[in-house]
Structure 1
Amino acid sequence: MPLRAHRRTAVAAAVLCLVVGLAGCASTTGQLEDYTGIEQGNASPASAPSTADPEGGEVVPAPGSVSALVAVGDRVLAQVDGPPALEIARVEGTRWIPEATVELPADAGTATAALDGTVLVPYGDGVVVVSPDGDSREIAGLGPVTAAAVTTDGRLLTGAPGGEVVVRDSDGAEQHRVRGLTSVDRISVARDGSVTAFSRPDTVIASIDLDESGAGPLLRAGRGAGMLGEYGDVTIVASDTVGDTLLVYSTSPIRLHQQFPVAAAPWAVAGDPTRDVVWVTSTGTNTIQAYDLGDGTGVRRAEIATVRQPDSLVVTESGTVVVGSADGAGLHLVRPELPEPSS
């Protein structure tokens, strides 16, 4: 879904757009820090207030803390640590109906959804590929993987600890490397095939051309970006956890269109096509907010109290908002009705 209007652009971030050259150039961090003279990046979820009072819906227990949530249709896969696993459930309204559990390696990274409907979990020697009904397989022998995605033509993309995006065939055989980032903490593939990579240490978002040797163009993403989420076909949103803002980008190439303030310490973000809004968690207030991006400035449509330490968030196909607690408080399932925006 394209953005309907772009009346405000964060000029400061656009000015920082840099094209990363061939391998051997100065690191991305060095280039950006020399340019700005300000140390930024390395965002992490802020510690939440000790009390929380979830509003509406249902709160269901989860084994341990929830580190990630992925929705495939009306199924939700919750990544938990007690022990490491994906808990798969069908969501009906605010009911959580368990269906399967998939064990994960102890060093599993963050689970993400692929365009082909599978869920990818990077780990210390490859990627675990999980289907929504609980079947799983490992693509092993790849070395440490920090992030994973699947292209529109079925190729596997993996992040390497040295900041490289590795292009592989569907079985994991390496074809090509794109260098130039400090870290690869998330790889996003839009429905038009454009690829974006996120480096959290230096808070950088970069376009990735799979035929090139270097990443770029790239943008500084606020003062300390935390998480990325997809919104429509060619738009991604990022939480600026340090700067307390939400960033809205188009892809192909990466371009900032909106930046506006949100509640304290935003972290998880998720698009909601059923309501045409973006949801954001605030670990600083134990709340979630819904923002309408249509007028180019970002209008808050709702704020809902949720579980403590809401580090993960997802919206199902039918519109249930699911929030995961990284503090052992379980899952909060809500079906909010948003008021119509004032004219």
Structure 2
Amino acid sequence: MRRWLPAALAGTILLTGCSSSTDGDDLPTRDPATAAAAPAETARPAGEVMGLANPLGRLLVEAGTGQIAALEASSETSTILFLIDQASFARAGQGGVPDPSFRTLSLPAHGASLAQGKPGELLIPAPERIIRVDVATGTVTELPVDGDARSVQRRDDGTLLVGTADGKVRTLSPEGKVVRTVSGLASADALAVTADQVTVLDRRQTSVTEIELGDDHLGLALRAGDGATNMISDKFGRIIVTDTAGGELLVYSAGPLVLRQRFPVNSSPYALAYDQRSDTVWVTCTQSNEVVGFDLSTGIPVEVGRFPTVRQPNSVTIDQRTGDMFVGSAADSGLQRIRADDRKRGH
């Protein structure tokens, strides 16, 4: 049985653990929070912008090739995946047209998010499957999954963690066999792996919950603001969440799960990316068409940069090799690059 304690306790709400047989259908939930609609007028975006006709929902720089993977946001059935060589920006210029190094792939189902697979591979959760994309060849294969997959993470041993829309987190062997299933959430929308622990973001409960790897039940869970939307982890094992409805950035430690920092961001904070080189977390703000950087090394996030973006910046990613940042527009405004050197100069 899941039990809620008073919200006044450390600004969070504690949940008791649930067994793997518990269903999430009777849990108190809310409609998932979404990014706020961006204003029609915006400042000129920083850096360079590549024109794209399709709205973008997710971005990832694939670690093995350096290709930018951009997932279309508009379709509810099939999805287009864009694979973009970073050299295209130099040839396209501000608002330019992509050159032949720009590729599109039609996926067999609507992709919910993007994750890194083995080097050279992308993982895309979708209804009843995980879509695997070989970036070099463009080959698309599918791994069957029971349920509407919303999130996926690959572990170093090749196993996959898959979160589904009905609140289950499954562990799959490298061959796709179900090794373990943990249930009890309303939805499993994002996953973060830190050491021997998995943290799950549940947008319908606006909560974060820990699962010990190798265990069969949910662990400690905490309320994540008024309407959490996105979650990432960093190299220090911190769990970082955007509370879009509450306008805050939330920072948790893992093992045990503890809320360490909360900071008002306002302007509908949404997408997240972490720059390992500078230990900076970047947050897009859709109400103001901006991306804001925060240093988390002290007891409270410190703003270290703020840049105008393309309209409706619903996605952001960092190339960890260079520190260059890419922001995607969910309103047909294209793909933006802000170089690491330009951010240092405040451009």
Q: TM-score range by the shorter chain?
A: 0.7 to 0.9
How big is the shift at 1:105? 2.3
Q: Of residues 306, 311, 316 in structure 2, which corresponds to 1:308?
A: 311
How big is the shift at 1:218? 1.0
Distance 2:59 2:8 in 1: 33
Question: What corresponds to 2:95 in structure 1?
Answer: none
Distance 2:88 2:305 in 1: 19
User: 1:230–1:270: 8 Å Cα contact kept in structure 2?
Assistant: no
- What is the DSSP-based 3-state SS (H/G/I as helix, E as strand, rest coil) of the residue aligned with 1:138? strand
Q: Of residues 187, 192, 196 in structure 2, which corresponds to 1:188?
A: 192
Question: What corresponds to 2:70 in structure 1?
Answer: 78
Greater shift, 232-241 or 138-147, is seen at 138-147
Alignment of 1:95-106 (within 5 A): 95=90, 98-106=101-109
Letter of the 2:239 counterpart: I
Question: What corresponds to 1:258 in structure 2?
Answer: 261
How big is the shift at 1:120? 1.2
User: 2:73–2:330: 8 Å Cα contact kept in structure 1?
Assistant: no
Distance 1:51 1:113 in 2: 34
Q: Are 1:91 and 2:86 matched, yes or no?
A: yes
Distance 2:111 2:104 in 1: 15
Letter of the 1:127 counterpart: I
User: 1:187–1:196: 8 Å Cα contact kept in structure 2?
Assistant: yes
Distance 1:29 1:238 in 2: 25
How big is the shift at 1:275? 2.3
Greater shift, 225-234 or 278-287, is seen at 225-234
User: 2:273–2:316: 8 Å Cα contact kept in structure 1?
Assistant: yes
Question: What corresponds to 1:36 in structure 2?
Answer: none
- 1:221–1:117 Cα change, 3 Å: farther
Q: Of residues 208, 212, 215 in structure 2, which corresponds to 1:209?
A: 212
Question: What corresponds to 2:327 in structure 1?
Answer: 323
Deviations 1:109-139 (A, max 9, x none): 2222347563211112210112342343211
Question: What corresponds to 2:58 in structure 1?
Answer: 68
- What is the DSSP-based 3-state SS (H/G/I as helix, E as strand, rest coil) of the residue aligned with 1:205? strand
- 1:243–1:295 Cα change, 3 Å: same
Question: What corresponds to 2:13 in structure 1?
Answer: 16
Letter of the 2:328 counterpart: G
Distance 1:11 1:272 in 2: 33
- Structure 1: stretches of 5+ with no match in the other structure: 1-9, 34-38
Distance 2:173 2:20 in 1: 23
Question: What corresponds to 1:7 in structure 2?
Answer: none
How big is the shift at 1:75? 2.4
Letter of the 2:19 counterpart: L
How big is the shift at 1:176? 1.6
User: 1:45–1:311: 8 Å Cα contact kept in structure 2?
Assistant: yes
The two structures, once aligned, show a CA RMSD in angstroms of: 2.7
The alignment's TM-score, normalised by the length of structure 1, stands at: 0.85
User: 1:41–1:203: 8 Å Cα contact kept in structure 2?
Assistant: no
Aligned residues: 323
Distance 1:110 1:246 in 2: 21
How big is the shift at 1:261? 0.7
User: 1:301–1:338: 8 Å Cα contact kept in structure 2?
Assistant: no
User: 2:272–2:282: 8 Å Cα contact kept in structure 1?
Assistant: yes
Greater shift, 254-263 or 315-324, is seen at 254-263
- 1:260–1:146 Cα change, 3 Å: same
Q: Are 1:337 and 2:337 matched, yes or no?
A: no
Deviations 1:167-209 (A, max 9, x none): 111122112211111101112223x242111110111111112
Deviations 1:224-257 (A, max 9, x none): 1111123225122111101111011222333221
Letter of the 1:20 counterpart: G
- What is the DSSP-based 3-state SS (H/G/I as helix, E as strand, rest coil) of the residue aligned with 1:337? helix
Q: Are 1:145 and 2:149 matched, yes or no?
A: yes
Question: What corresponds to 2:295 in structure 1?
Answer: 292
Alignment of 1:176-255 (within 5 A): 176-190=180-194, 192-255=195-258
- 1:216–1:299 Cα change, 3 Å: same
- What is the DSSP-based 3-state SS (H/G/I as helix, E as strand, rest coil) of the residue aligned with 2:310? coil
Does 1 or 2 have the higher relative contact order (CA < 8 Å, sep 6+)? 1
Q: Of residues 43, 47, 57 in structure 2, which corresponds to 1:53?
A: 43
Distance 1:94 1:288 in 2: 20
- 1:175–1:47 Cα change, 3 Å: same
Deviations 1:35-88 (A, max 9, x none): xxxx86621111111112233311112241100001123321111257722211
Letter of the 1:195 counterpart: V
